[in-house]
């Protein structure tokens, strides 16, 4: 099972961690149903999320490297 928090052994032992989860079932009523089709997805929103994630990973990697 996937935890919805980032408190696993990595963090407990002082390692930086980032948890990324889709949680699509919480946001898309079509998820894993016959109506789960490409036209039910919000591609602009997904693109924005991915760019934000990319920026966060880059920023975190720079901070860890210091």
Show Cβ contacts of residue 4 under 8 Å, excluding neighbours closer than 6 positions: 21, 23
- Give the Cα separation of 42 and 16 in Å (integer): 31
Show Cβ contacts of residue 11 under 8 Å, excluding neighbours closer than 6 positions: 17
Residue 13 has pLDDT above 60, yes or no: yes
Answering whether pTM is above 0.85, one says: no
Nearest to 5 by CA among 15, 16, 14, 18: 18
Residue 35 has pLDDT above 70, yes or no: yes
Residue 37 has pLDDT above 90, yes or no: yes
């Amino acid at each position: 099972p996937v935890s919805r928090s980032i408190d696993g052994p990595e963090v407990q032992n002082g390692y930086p961690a980032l948890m990324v989860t889709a949680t699509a079932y919480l946001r898309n009523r079509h998820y894993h149903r016959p109506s789960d089709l490409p036209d039910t997805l919000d591609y602009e929103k997904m693109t924005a999320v991915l760019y934000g994630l990319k920026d966060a990973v880059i920023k975190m990697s720079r901070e860890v490297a210091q």
